[in-house]
A and B are shown apart, each in its own frame.
Chain A
């Protein structure tokens, strides 16, 4: 408990105190300016898109890994964890290498919002896939057979039988991906360029010595994250990571 306090709790409390140190008025004015509002809008927008794409693609990947079988499946299965193992700054760099100025495939995404979204999709890839996978494994296939024998089409079975069972897991995974995206820094540091992402604005504020502004934006981000955490506990399936 002492360890946790010294390393996590007291420092985070210091951010709160700093944000409110010169009164609510100053806190509000450092949030309510065009740059900050814009950064928040871009960050939240990108995170929402990432959570949505991640939910669909993560579920699809989990489905293929559980229900399909093909040579190399085990390799692909361990590949899913790559974004957890790879340093995020390398993740950012790899995307510059492929989609940047010297792109071998002729796609120039780097330093745009598109690049931000691709980078976030990369780092959050495991969340949905890994949260849906175990649920899908344990799903009783007999229920699906029953639905089919009662005349349900595949689409109906998926929508009425499978999806409801997966929904909490998809929700938790997507919410975690969203929370991670809101705060992500490492993979974006190299490729965001002029796109003003919240965490990068905070870093720039710290570098230029305006700690109060940095703390103010930090508080907003923390409130969003706590809200997401609360939603996961309330509506999602319990995931371990």
Chain B
């Protein structure tokens, strides 16, 4: 189909205008608002004790949740793509649940099971383990919402490459463990990497599910997004530099994530 020059240009114009208004312009404004009183003012807000502890809590939660979901994700993808066990279809359907269930519902669900008076909550509390309104609950909530990414990225890659190489390795006497490490993992590594980046982005940015199970105490159970939410709440609609400073901090992290996504994404596409 030969589209006239004018049509091409106007389509391009509309698409770019839409993306600029929706994505770029708001982001630029946030950077501008952050630094309008100078870099030092913004940096001061990013390095308050509350902000620093929120930063490390976000990192801690991601460091626990991401490896858990990666191991589970690769395992589940192997089951979905390779084995013929019964219940595979159910597993396939259940894995998508965290994507379609609202994060707030995820928080509520964990509250009902692990909270005080919940199904398992009292058993943990009696042994002195606090899950809800504490860090373990926030980790579980993060695991919940970021669970499907690795599975969904790795399964299609496994299906695409087929299992001939793995069978060849097995014929040559490799144990299944060796086959996995030497043959399967290297083929799917960029898919895994892409899934890990998506999981990390979600883990660092999640608010809904974590908000429900956090006690909202600065310095102990506030992640960066939660601290931002709380600071914004305190100043009402007059959003101040402190909030924008946190937003910039998060935005910088996510731009780094975006760069990694682009890199891993193109490597993965080439590998296929």
Contacts and interface: CB of A to CB of B under 8 A. Distances in A.
A97 B22 contact: no
Contacts of A203: 104, 208, 211-212
Interface stretch (B44-52, B165-173, B179-187, B235-243): B235-243
Interface residues of B, number: 86
Interface in A1-52: 1, 3-4, 7-12, 14-15, 17-18
Given A4-B91, A93-B232, A211 B11 contact: no
A81 B251 contact: no
Contact of B108 (A85, A97, A145, A206): A206
B122 interface: no
Describe B's contact surface by its main secondary structure: helix
B188 interface: no
A8 B144 contact: yes
B74 to A, nearest CB: 13
Nearest to A230: B93
Nearest to A182: B102
B207 A11 contact: no
Given A68-B8, A90-B30, A97-B29, A183 B3 contact: no
B26 A98 contact: yes
B98 interface: yes
Contacts of A222: 100-101, 105
Interface residues of A, number: 88
A189 to B, nearest CB: 6
Contact of B1 (A10, A96, A162): A162
Interface string B106-142: 1111111110001100000000000000000000100
Interface of B: 1-3, 7-8, 11-12, 14-16, 18-19, 22-27, 29-30, 33, 68, 72, 76, 87, 91, 93-114, 118-119, 140, 143-144, 147, 152-153, 156, 198, 201, 204-208, 211-212, 224-225, 228-229, 232, 237-239, 243-244, 247, 250-251, 254-255, 257-259, 261-262
Interface of A: 1, 3-4, 7-12, 14-15, 17-18, 57, 60-61, 63-65, 67-68, 70, 76, 78-91, 93-102, 104, 110-111, 118, 121-122, 125, 141, 144-145, 147-148, 154, 157-158, 162, 179, 182-186, 189-190, 198-199, 202-203, 206, 211, 214-215, 218, 221-222, 225-226, 228-229, 240-241
6 contacts: A61-B19, A86-B27, A90-B30, A144-B1, A145-B1, A229-B100
